[in-house]
């Protein structure tokens, strides 16, 4: 069976004409608000927040017109965006000139030639100053040109992107609804995965690597499958494949998303597959990765970090593991864990693997316990400090999270 990427039908239904009066009212309202802000603060061209708000407000209005009018004709969508942008640009000048003169808005709006002549006159004499210099002539025309470009291009672009990607169910004349992040995973061969996805073959999910809730909040990348489908009749389904690049900046997570395949129309079987969470890659927890074993391994490495394992450290580890897990942990189990660590044991890799099986509280508990062992003899030497840093890095703790744990222990 072949699959194709969704394309708008191009139909223009009766509801599409509803947007015309709504668009007119919306354009008049936005132009009035924008002009009032312009008149209050003539240097609006230097106030990017106000200008961006007007531009994206028009884009949002264009999208709402598309939704209300059930517009799935791209040409009509572009026309709506252009109409809003041009109308607001034209009317904002009419309203501005009315504020600067004794003429009415209607006299400027209904006479384009008079409005053009007034624009030339105002550009020649200027009407506000910037640091003592009159803002006029070519500089004012450039400002007006940039203003028009932003106010017209933004709603056109936003109308196009929305109308060309939003899925519409022609079966029941209803917009499809979104379900995002149905499946999160990692894959080695992006090109091969994308090719399979386009064929409607999702078998690569079986071999995909799972993404844990902890990893999603750390720097890195993963892939996701989203779906738009009609929840009214259940007859239209379209799935998308996206790449999500996670970044941590100033201890805040941001995600840059790249769409690899958008809105592939699929059948009922694939719809049911992606909606079933049990089909998503998941982490299988092996017995050896129980919290008790994680603690014994990490703390055993801590005791061994300085090259000398003292009985006091062994006793401390047994006591702490017992309190944390609620199980009896004797010194023999600690000794066995220490002796089981090979010379090439990598604490960073082990901690990274262990992080898959720990909650945020569990990771904090592990690092706290490791710190207690390091401080058991009253001080932590360089090798123990290095081990602690590797454990924290492996567990995926940010610098701020690590510092907060240390601060909480010192209170």
- Mean pLDDT in runs of 10 for the chain (411 residues)? 85 71 69 62 55 84 87 89 87 82 88 92 73 68 86 93 90 92 90 94 88 73 94 94 89 87 94 91 57 82 78 83 80 85 82 77 82 72 81 83 80 61
| Residues 261 and 400 grouped into a single domain | no
Same domain flag for 291 and 268: no
Transcribe 130-199 into DSSP letters: ETTEE--HHHHHHHHHHHHHHHHHHHHHHHHHHHHHS-EETTTTEE-EEEEEEEEEE-S-HHHHHHHHHT
Beta carbons within 10 angstroms of residue 63's beta carbon: 21
Going across the sheet that includes 177-186, the strands are 4-5, 252-265, 237-249, 220-229, 177-186, 209-210
Do residues 156 and 190 both lie within one domain? no
Q: Do 293 and 382 belong together in one domain?
A: yes
Q: What is the predicted pLDDT for the residue at 289?
A: 54
Q: In this structure, are 60 and 190 located in the same domain?
A: no
The whole-angstrom distance between residue 320's C-alpha and the CA centroid of its chain comes to 40
- Residue 226's beta-bridge partner residues? 240
Count how many domains the chain has: 3
Q: Is 221 in a helix, a strand, or coil?
A: strand
94 and 160, same domain (yes or no): yes
Domain stop point among 149, 166, 183: 166
Where among 255, 279, 303 does a domain terminate?
279
User: Taking a C-beta distance cutoff of 8 angstroms, is the pair 165, 262 a contact?
Assistant: yes
Q: What CATH number does residue 403 fall under?
A: 1.10.3680.10
Q: Full-prediction pTM beyond 0.75? A: no
- Same domain flag for 53 and 121: yes
Question: Residue 220, by phi and psi: left (phi above 0), alpha (psi -120 to 50) or beta?
Answer: left
Residue 397 confidence (pLDDT): 82
**Environment class of residue 26 by beta-carbon count within 10 Å: exposed (0-12), middle (13-18) or buried (19+)?**
buried
Q: Would you state the pLDDT for residue 179?
A: 94
For residues 222 and 324, membership in a common domain is answered with no
Q: Which of 262, 279, 296 is the last residue of a domain?
A: 279
Same domain, 160 and 256: no
pLDDT reported for residue 167: 94
12/156 same-domain check: yes
**Sign, Cα dihedral of 372, 373, 378, 380:** negative
Q: Please state, in angstroms and as integers, the Cα–Cα distance from residue 323 to each residue in 172, 236, 330, following that order.
A: 61, 55, 12
The boundaries of the domain holding residue 317 are: 287-410
User: Which has the closest alpha carbon to 66: 164, 152, 154?
Assistant: 164
Q: What local confidence, expressed as pLDDT, does residue 45 receive?
A: 45
Whether 136 and 45 share a structural domain: yes
* Residues 161 and 185 both lie in one domain: no
């Amino acid at each position: 069976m072949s699959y194709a990427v969704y394309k708008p039908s191009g139909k223009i239904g009766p509801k599409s004409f509803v947007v015309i009066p709504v668009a007119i009212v919306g354009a008049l309202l936005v132009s009035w608000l924008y002009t009032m802000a312009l008149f209050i603060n003539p240097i609006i061209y230097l106030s990017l927040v106000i200008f961006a708000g007007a531009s994206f407000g028009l884009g949002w209005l264009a999208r709402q017109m598309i939704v209300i009018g059930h517009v799935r004709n791209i040409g009509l969508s572009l026309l709506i965006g252009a109409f809003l942008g041009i109308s607001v640009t034209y009317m904002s000048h009419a309203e501005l000139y009315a504020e600067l003169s004794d003429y009415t808005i209607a006299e400027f709006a209904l006479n384009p030639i008079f409005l053009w002549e007034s624009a030339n006159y105002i550009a020649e004499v200027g009407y506000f100053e910037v640091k003592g210099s009159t803002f006029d002539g070519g500089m004012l025309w450039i400002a007006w040109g940039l203003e028009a470009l932003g106010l017209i291009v933004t709603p056109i672009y936003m109308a196009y992107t929305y109308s060309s990607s939003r899925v519409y169910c022609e079966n029941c004349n209803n917009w499809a609804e979104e379900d995002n992040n149905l499946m999160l995973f990692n894959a080695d061969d992006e090109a091969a995965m994308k090719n399979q996805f386009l064929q409607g073959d999702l078998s690569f999910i079986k071999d995909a690597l799972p993404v844990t809730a902890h990893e999603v909040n750390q720097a890195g990348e993963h892939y996701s499958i989203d779906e738009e489908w009609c929840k009214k009749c259940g007859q239209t389904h379209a799935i998308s494949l996206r790449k999500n690049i996670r970044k941590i900046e100033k201890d805040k997570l941001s995600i840059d998303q790249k769409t690899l395949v958008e809105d592939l129309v699929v059948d009922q079987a694939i719809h049911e597959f992606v909606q079933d969470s049990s089909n998503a890659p998941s982490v299988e927890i092996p017995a050896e990765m129980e919290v008790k074993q994680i603690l014994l391994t990490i703390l055993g490495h801590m005791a061994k970090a300085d090259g000398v394992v003292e009985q006091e450290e062994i006793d401390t580890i047994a006591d702490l593991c017992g309190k944390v897990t609620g199980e009896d942990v004797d010194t023999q189990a600690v000794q066995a864990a220490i002796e089981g660590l090979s010379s090439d044991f990598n604490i960073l890799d082990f901690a990274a693997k262990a992080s898959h099986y720990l909650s945020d509280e569990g990771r904090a508990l592990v690092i706290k316990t490791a710190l207690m062992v390091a401080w058991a003899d009253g001080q932590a030497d360089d090798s123990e400090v290095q081990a602690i840093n590797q454990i924290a890095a492996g567990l995926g703790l940010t610098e701020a999270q690590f510092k907060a744990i240390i601060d909480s222990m010192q209170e």
